[in-house]
Structure 1
Amino acid sequence: MSYSNELTNKTLGQLLDSIALKHPDKDAIVFCDLNYKINYREFKKTTDEIAKGLLALNIKKGEHIGIFAVNCPEWVILQFAAAKIGTVLVNINPALKSHELEYILKQGDITTLFLTEFFKGQNMIDVLEDIGKNEDVRAHHGVPQLHRIITICTGNHPEYMKWNDLYKLAKSVPEEVLVERQSKLNSKDVINIQYTSGTTGFPKGAELTHFGILNNAYFCGVNMNLTDKDSICIPVPLYHCFGCVLGTLVSVNFGIKMVFPSEVFEPKKTLEAVQKEKCTALYGVPTMFIAELALDDFNKYDLSSLRTGVIAGAPCPMELMKQLIDKMHLTEITVGYGFTEASPLITQTRYNDPLEIKVGTVGKPHQNVKVKIISPETKAELPHNTPGELCAFGYNAMIGYYNMPEKTKETIDSSGWMHTGDLATMDEKDICKIVGRIKDMVIRGGENIYPAEIEEFFMTNSKVEMVQVIGIPDKKYGEQLAVVIKLKSGEKWTEEEVKEWCKGKIANFKIPYYVKFVSEFPMTANGKIQKYKLREILQQELKITV
């Protein structure tokens, strides 16, 4: 198949409309757990109905609506329906607790919230209702600009609107009203906000455009050697760019079937989905693939349809890559690298790269994206094979962090280069290798955890005088979170009490695995805490080798 390296100026709505016209009877969305399957004609029709329902609610172009949900058909439909009317969809991790959800609802100026009821046993509606329990603004859950709450996949909670109410509302909106709204949209409009974070402060909302995410998805598919005969199994979460850009948008770009095994990742259901739907591509972070390969009955699944896919989120060890090729038939799997701010991919290995490239590197820069390696100190560009900060420039750059101009300037410089905070090298063939991180971010099983956010949370406890959060190497998850606490004089706190205090306030994956109490922190001469020394001390005490 021949591919174009040209950038397209379509909106998400225009892309879906054109693909539905071209492949009306092809399977579009499959949710195996729900026995749900629709083709592209039905996908477009349902999307248009929900878009008209949103218009009936008088939701404006540029208005922010949030989705706090597990993987479900409504998530995908809403992504495209919101895009069709120029509304900005704000992705919210379903694992978040009330403290974190409140921050995003307020900082993101969300007026309408869509949510499912449960995530791994956590009642998400309870999480929402925990916000503002003791405030006068109870009707808005402590978030004054939040006007509407719409539930998905539940008949409970009659006090809230339901997803199906949108179909009824849509009947009052003529087709030409939707067409007129779509005609006013531009591919360079912000259409999605995805929350990420840095080493300081709370999460930041990266503003992404139709242009950035649609083109990034297309080139991801090109590098996987996709055709309209392929189909993708997507066990990764939709709230993350891995799911809602590299998953849904890659699929629609190529007019192929997107298969979701379950609402949250389950290795058995993932392999069942591949077998049943004869998927040719599979996505995941390394820990997902490891869990699939470790299944007792792994050999019973017919995975012979698989050929390609994307592995991202953490380095892929040589042994794992060999198993992906030998046992899962993923001979053309690619390795992706980027960050949310880049829509998200910056580099990617190609489907036909040799094994040593797929294991030791993150491949070449994406089409229409430039990469350079600079000195973190002087900002000067460095020669080949010299470690420095990886910076990227291209169409895929976010517009900025929502309502955070100073933070935006820290990430995108005056010349438009994105600064990743990652240490990397680039060779004479433009092949990049990540060698470390400038940021203190901890990556646990593909989930990014930001120490400063957790430290700020711990400082809300009256027992704590000082606190530091660091990552400790872990064979299973890559890293585990450790908290080092200096208590105020006379205070007492145990490891068990610390973990119990965290429960229900922050997501479970952010609760520290290791808890250590100290009377002093190692400091520099000018009073800065030396995190690297803390890490060395803990690793020695725990007898952990890197």
Structure 2
Amino acid sequence: LEWVKRWAADLDDAGVVFPNFANYMSRYVKKGSIRGRLFENKTKTGKYIWEKDTLIDLTFPQVLDRVVEEFPDQYAFRYTTTDYTRTYSEFRDDVDTFARSLIALGVKPGDHVAIWATNVPQWFVTFWATVKIGAVLVTVNTAYKIYEAEYLLRQSDTHTLVMIDGYKDSDYVGIIKELCPELETAEAGKPLYTKRLPFLRNIITVDSKQKGCLTWDEAMSLADRVPIEEVYRRALSINKHDVCNMQYTSGTTGFPKGVMLTHYNIVNNGKCIGDCMDLSTADKMLIHVPMFHCFGMVLSMTACMTHGATMCPIPYFSPRLSLACINQEKITACNGVPTMFIAMLEHEDFAKTDFSHMRTGIMAGSPCPVKVMQDVVEKMNMKEITIVYGQTEASPGCTQSRVDDPIEVRVNTVGRPLPGVECKIVDPQTGKDLPDNVDGEFLARGYNVMKGYYKMPEATAAAIDEDGWLHTGDLARRDENGNYKITGRIRDMIIRGGENIYPKEIEDFIYTHPKVSDVQVIGVPDKQYGEEIMACVILKEGENMTADELKDYIRSHMAKHKTPKYIDFVTEFPMNAAGKIMKYKMREYAIEKLKLHEESRIVTA
């Protein structure tokens, strides 16, 4: 304290002087932040932050802050189709700017912000900015037309909508103009008041300038009106059990329901799934699954962001763009539904794609044919591919095979329960627990189960029983090693003359025919047996086959009652935008095509 006594005799309290001096000097001294212990991946080529198979008590903004602290210069995004490359630190700056814009537009904690877009950079920025200020991100299916869009925007009470101009045959701008004719005279930047969407106050258009709407750049420029401290204040006031996302279930039956998921649900589900894939800073993931679906948002984005991995998104799935991205970015991980992997394997560019860096990925979304899994392991070098099973109501993962499981387990089962998730098989009629190797309904309970369906208490009570078990409606069995095998949907099961027939078993066998590219098996009404089996088959390019030829092939390898009565050669299957095949639509087509109207009216007990 020499200098204090000499220059300021009356200041002798070091507790006052020294902190002041340290604070003044801090701008000239480079800070070395104190880091926690980091973990290494199995091959010691990359690092990650949180110990494997543990749950973390963090919100989304806290996760991003920690990743930026540990790996500020690690790439978060590297797009190959558009000019957007950001490190984690740069990405957080984009998020903070848009978070300030949302606050300027009147978005309050708990308000709903909808994003209607493909996997464009603005999707990711909107997600992280929305959840950072305590609001709820509502995902909108990219295939929606006016009827579904109106239902979702009304049912979800959306306050602010961020949208692109359209996708495939859906014209979003045309839809919004029809739903909100008031836009014609509305002033951009001022709160909207529309009759059909009473809660909607703002629309932000990413691709073009529209009447009554703000462009993305105009919205970003509003950030200047709000100090960054307000974003920090909001982020600090979030509880990990607050709802941060509403996913509308695919609606393969009835109206879509808004599944309310919390920070704790999604952060931990994504983290545990990334743990099972051994993700780290060494990984680059190709993201071509849709972000509006859990497969994109949780299994891809959240799994990467909780492990400091790099994401290479593609706006929408295209086998050509996906294969080009694998080549250009030396991709190590790739998620997809079986149809995506089939499309890549059969594409003309497949042979000239370098898969030497490829290691892992997830095949999920619909039952995974064993043959496709084996092809992906052998031909795409995805030696550590895993399967995740779950549903949106479970954030979505319930079980997963691990990268170090034997290949038989990874190809033939959906693995064992994820950490913190309990699973069991019960008799759908009685609710009694069933022993191993017996088919029954799959139930799950744990941190990952949704808060409920938005404004649908009866539907919530029907899905989650009083003991907290989520009833999935899926048929499954557990083997003696604790791994689960999904055998079908309770509704998809075909009951032919009292025999329970599982379509997946027949599908898996038909896949082994060298001329078959893809197949779906459905039940169609029948006077004699109640239901008969129909196989809808897509042949490989340039191949021909008769129905009798395929029936003989099946009959020579499977029980006679499992041989389809009808075989229909098709070029595609009806799918929703999440890549899920809509079997109920296939049944409707079949009833029309085979003229089974009379049979379909037979009433059963």
TM-score, normalization by structure 2 = 0.74
Match of 1:145 in 2: 199
1:131-163 superposed Cα distances (whole Å, 9 cap, x missing partner): 3669999962721221211111x2332431111
2:170 partner amino acid: Q
Matched, 1:22 2:58: no
Match of 2:390 among 311, 316, 338: 338
Matched, 1:369 2:421: yes
Match of 2:92 in 1: 44
SS in 2 for 1:35: coil
CA distance in 1, matches of 2:159, 2:600: 46
Match of 1:195 in 2: 248
1:21 positional shift: 1.4
Is the CA contact (8 Å cut-off) linking 1:109 and 1:145 kept in structure 2? yes
Is the CA contact (8 Å cut-off) linking 1:31 and 1:72 kept in structure 2? no
Is the CA contact (8 Å cut-off) linking 1:23 and 1:40 kept in structure 2? yes
2:123 partner amino acid: W
Match of 1:474 in 2: 536
Matched, 1:240 2:293: yes
Matches within 5 A, 1:340-489: 340-440=392-492, 473-476=535-538
Match of 1:163 in 2: 216
- Evaluate the alpha carbon distance shift between residue 388 and residue 358 of structure 1 in structure 2; reply closer, same or farther with a 3 A threshold: same
SS in 1 for 2:303: helix
- Evaluate the alpha carbon distance shift between residue 218 and residue 519 of structure 1 in structure 2; reply closer, same or farther with a 3 A threshold: closer
2:138 partner amino acid: V
Matched, 1:113 2:161: yes
Is the CA contact (8 Å cut-off) linking 1:48 and 1:81 kept in structure 2? yes
Match of 1:54 in 2: 102
Matched, 1:311 2:373: no
2:231 partner amino acid: L
Is the CA contact (8 Å cut-off) linking 2:182 and 2:194 kept in structure 1? no
Match of 2:136 in 1: 88
Matches within 5 A, 1:97-112: 97-112=145-160
CA distance in 2, matches of 1:433, 1:25: 41
- Evaluate the alpha carbon distance shift between residue 178 and residue 218 of structure 1 in structure 2; reply closer, same or farther with a 3 A threshold: same
1:80-115 superposed Cα distances (whole Å, 9 cap, x missing partner): 100100110000101110001110011111111111
Is the CA contact (8 Å cut-off) linking 2:74 and 2:281 kept in structure 1? no
CA distance in 2, matches of 1:314, 1:472: 19
1:249 positional shift: 0.8
CA distance in 2, matches of 1:353, 1:97: 43
CA distance in 2, matches of 1:508, 1:246: 16
Match of 2:116 in 1: 68
Q: Which moved more, 1:206-215 or 1:297-306?
A: 297-306
1:74 partner amino acid: Q
1:35 positional shift: 2.9
- Evaluate the alpha carbon distance shift between residue 368 and residue 137 of structure 1 in structure 2; reply closer, same or farther with a 3 A threshold: farther
Q: Which moved more, 1:312-321 or 1:386-395?
A: 312-321
What stretches of structure 2 of length at least 5 have no aligned partner?
1-39, 42-50, 187-192, 494-502, 508-516, 524-531, 540-573
Is the CA contact (8 Å cut-off) linking 1:94 and 1:124 kept in structure 2? no
Task: Report percent identity of matched pairs.
Answer: 40
1:189 positional shift: 0.4
Match of 1:324 in 2: 376
Is the CA contact (8 Å cut-off) linking 1:337 and 1:346 kept in structure 2? yes
CA distance in 1, matches of 2:128, 2:343: 32
Match of 2:556 in 1: none
* Greater RCO (Cα-Cα under 8 Å, separation 6 or more): 1
1:415-472 superposed Cα distances (whole Å, 9 cap, x missing partner): 10000000100122210001121135999999x9xx9xxxxxxxxxxxxxxxxxx996
1:175 partner amino acid: I
Number of residue pairs matched by the alignment: 476
1:156-191 superposed Cα distances (whole Å, 9 cap, x missing partner): 324311111222111111121111111110111000
Match of 1:5 in 2: 53
SS in 2 for 1:34: coil
Match of 1:129 in 2: 177
1:274 positional shift: 1.2
Match of 1:254 in 2: 307
Is the CA contact (8 Å cut-off) linking 1:287 and 1:476 kept in structure 2? no
SS in 2 for 1:191: strand
SS in 2 for 1:19: helix
CA distance in 2, matches of 1:363, 1:92: 30
Match of 1:520 in 2: 598
1:215-256 superposed Cα distances (whole Å, 9 cap, x missing partner): 000111111122221111111011101001111111110111
- Evaluate the alpha carbon distance shift between residue 143 and residue 509 of structure 1 in structure 2; reply closer, same or farther with a 3 A threshold: farther
- Evaluate the alpha carbon distance shift between residue 522 and residue 40 of structure 1 in structure 2; reply closer, same or farther with a 3 A threshold: closer
1:122 positional shift: 3.1
CA distance in 1, matches of 2:250, 2:326: 33
2:106 partner amino acid: N
What stretches of structure 1 of length at least 5 have no aligned partner?
452-469, 478-501, 531-546
1:509 positional shift: 8.1
1:364 positional shift: 0.5
- Evaluate the alpha carbon distance shift between residue 211 and residue 476 of structure 1 in structure 2; reply closer, same or farther with a 3 A threshold: farther
2:430 partner amino acid: T
1:313 positional shift: 1.3
Match of 2:348 in 1: 296
SS in 1 for 2:428: coil
- Evaluate the alpha carbon distance shift between residue 183 and residue 102 of structure 1 in structure 2; reply closer, same or farther with a 3 A threshold: same
Q: Which moved more, 1:436-445 or 1:175-184?
A: 436-445
- Evaluate the alpha carbon distance shift between residue 471 and residue 370 of structure 1 in structure 2; reply closer, same or farther with a 3 A threshold: farther
1:361 positional shift: 1.1
CA distance in 2, matches of 1:48, 1:471: 55
SS in 2 for 1:475: strand
1:473 positional shift: 4.0
SS in 1 for 2:175: helix
1:355 positional shift: 2.2
Is the CA contact (8 Å cut-off) linking 1:195 and 1:206 kept in structure 2? yes
CA distance in 2, matches of 1:472, 1:159: 51
Is the CA contact (8 Å cut-off) linking 2:73 and 2:88 kept in structure 1? yes
Is the CA contact (8 Å cut-off) linking 2:265 and 2:448 kept in structure 1? yes
Is the CA contact (8 Å cut-off) linking 1:275 and 1:301 kept in structure 2? yes
CA distance in 2, matches of 1:50, 1:471: 53
CA distance in 2, matches of 1:94, 1:198: 14
Match of 1:209 among 247, 262, 273: 262
- Evaluate the alpha carbon distance shift between residue 119 and residue 519 of structure 1 in structure 2; reply closer, same or farther with a 3 A threshold: closer
CA distance in 2, matches of 1:194, 1:125: 22
CA distance in 2, matches of 1:183, 1:111: 22
CA distance in 2, matches of 1:522, 1:316: 30
CA distance in 2, matches of 1:212, 1:295: 37
- Evaluate the alpha carbon distance shift between residue 471 and residue 22 of structure 1 in structure 2; reply closer, same or farther with a 3 A threshold: farther
Is the CA contact (8 Å cut-off) linking 1:133 and 1:142 kept in structure 2? no
